[in-house]
Amino acid sequence: MENELREILLEWKEMSLPEIIEREVKISPSEQIIAIIGPRRSGKTYFMFDLIKKMKKSKNTVYINFEDYRIKNKEIDMTKFLRVVNELFEPKYFFLDEVQNLKDWNSFVRTLHDKKFYIFVSGSSSKLLSKEIATNLRGRYRNVLIFPFSFKEFLNFKKFKMEKEISEIKKGELLRNLREYIEFGGFPEVIKNEKKEDKIEYAKTLFETIFYRDVLERFNIRNLSVVDTFSKLLISNFSSYFSISKVENYFKSRGIKVSKKTISSYLKYFETAFFCLTVEKISPKTKERVEQPKKLYSIDNILYTLLPKFSYDFGKLMENLVAIEFYRMKFLNPFFEVYYWKDYQQREVDFVTKEDLRIKQLIQVTYASSREEIKSREIENLLRAGKELKCNNMLVITWNYEDEEKISKKKIVYKPLWKWLLEL
């Protein structure tokens, strides 16, 4: 094992780091272990490389990918490991990629941490989940979430330079990029692929990997056919309401007995595997929040390509992007919450944001390029929700319409999606 380790570390020493798109997430070495989590293939390894690059990849920086066949699923003796590392480096920073492939990885990482090294770990979402990290590293860690590219990062990848005073020609180019981002999302490999069919094929492969490895294997589920049907129901309800009771009745109509508790667990498994997000109805009553249907969103818009195409709802894709951004905010700010609003007359508002005890903002999302295209009920619902929730901060996110207006002494701001995304 010493020879294998020495080979791997010598290769790292000579390795040139690839060209990297800088991510918006900013972190620095910490006395806590930094655990880099997020969806599969969202760029966690390249994020590590970017951090190493900023440290000038010096002789005190050690990177090991435990996916390497020479050490994968092997047990590594700490004494021998440190001897080899100190032979080749003056170690201070350890970057441990796919660390779940190391036998007894938690003990290995804790021992390094006890020796006062700075440690960054990342791994497959099927094994290195927040719950496992919390259990195994016992308060010594801090999570960092790496999602597929944001729109800002997507534009950086495309080498699009934003101008202070944007011309109509430049805006057209910007909207073309936004249209691509809305349709195919921000996974790095998807953005690199030029052909539409390759992007769609990637989405299928990604789904299969998440389904089999991060859900079935990870949670040891044996009823493949039921979970397979459940996953199709999830996909068909992206940007729509998802009711546990309706899913139970659907299975019952097909002669399949699946309890609400099991369905609720399946939903949690797919959320844990970074496949989907859910938003609850706003209510001061916990029971109502839990029992009412949730709004379901995809972790990235590329997964919408898995839907059978009978029609194309661009508004839903826009809404999904907004939900993803709110999820990022929620992760960064523990006091930030997001809900939807709906009353007994079925009037609804897409998003209600809340911070501490204060309702912060009401948001509608619509694929509109002019005031005339915005349906009156969208505005009426905002005003109704604003009155009920005592919130005057109202926003309509549009495709390319920008303005402000006062209705019933309430100000409503209209803002294009591209501007909202770039101002975050």
- Asked whether 7 and 70 are in contact (CB, 8 A), the reply is yes
Residues of the chain with CATH 1.10.10.10: 195-310
Query: How far is residue 188's CA from residue 199's CA, in Å, rounded to a whole number?
Result: 11
Contacts of 38 (CB under 8 A, 6+ apart): 44, 125, 145, 146, 147, 274
- Asked whether 175 and 400 are in contact (CB, 8 A), the reply is yes
Tens of pLDDT, residue by residue over 286-328, are 888 989 999 999 999 999 999 876 556 899 999 999 999 999 9
Query: How far is residue 93's CA from residue 95's CA, in Å, rounded to a whole number?
Result: 7
Q: How many Cβ atoms from other residues are within 10 Å of residue 424's Cβ? A: 12
Q: Is the dihedral of CA 27, 28, 29, 32 positive or negative?
A: negative
CATH class of 313-424: alpha beta
CATH 1.10.10.10 matches 195-310: yes
- pLDDT score of 391: 96
Separation in Å, CA 421 to CA 151, 158, 307: 7, 16, 25
Strands 61-65 and 93-97: parallel
Q: 3-state class of 402 per DSSP? A: coil
Question: pLDDT tens digits for the chain (424 residues)?
Answer: 889 999 999 999 999 999 898 899 988 888 999 999 899 899 999 999 999 999 888 899 999 999 899 999 898 999 999 999 999 999 999 999 988 888 888 889 999 999 999 999 997 655 565 556 656 676 688 889 999 999 999 999 999 998 888 899 999 999 999 999 999 999 999 999 999 999 999 999 999 999 998 899 889 999 999 999 999 999 999 999 999 999 999 999 999 999 999 999 999 999 999 999 999 999 998 888 989 999 999 999 999 999 876 556 899 999 999 999 999 999 999 999 999 999 999 999 999 999 999 999 999 999 999 999 999 999 999 999 999 999 999 999 999 999 999 998 899 999 999 999 999 9
Q: Cα-Cα-Cα-Cα dihedral of 62, 63, 68, 70, to 10°?
A: 0
Q: Is the dihedral of CA 323, 325, 329, 330 positive or negative?
A: positive
- Asked whether 128 and 20 are in contact (CB, 8 A), the reply is no
CATH class of 2-145: alpha beta
Residues of the chain with CATH 3.40.50.300: 2-145
Q: How many Cβ atoms from other residues are within 10 Å of residue 133's Cβ? A: 21
pTM of the model: 0.93
Query: How far is residue 130's CA from residue 125's CA, in Å, rounded to a whole number?
Result: 9
Contacts of 253 (CB under 8 A, 6+ apart): none
- pLDDT score of 101: 85
- pLDDT score of 29: 85
Closest CA to 303 of 202, 155, 226, 194: 202
DSSP of 148-162, one letter per residue? SPPHHHHHHHTTPPP
- Asked whether 301 and 321 are in contact (CB, 8 A), the reply is yes
Dmax (CA) of the chain? 76
- pLDDT score of 260: 96
Contacts of 165 (CB under 8 A, 6+ apart): none
- Asked whether 312 and 304 are in contact (CB, 8 A), the reply is no
Query: How far is residue 104's CA from residue 353's CA, in Å, rounded to a whole number?
Result: 41
- pLDDT score of 126: 55
Closest CA to 394 of 362, 349, 351, 364: 362
**Quick one: angle between helices 2-14 and 78-88, nearest 10?**
30
H/E element, 339: strand 336-342
Decide: residue 21, CB within 10 A, 0-12 exposed, 13-18 middle, 19+ buried: middle
Residues of the chain with CATH 3.40.1350: 313-424
Alpha helices by DSSP H, 237-278 = 244-253, 260-272
C-beta pairs of 250-255 under 8 Å, 24+ apart in sequence = 251/226
Contacts of 252 (CB under 8 A, 6+ apart): none
Contacts of 139 (CB under 8 A, 6+ apart): none
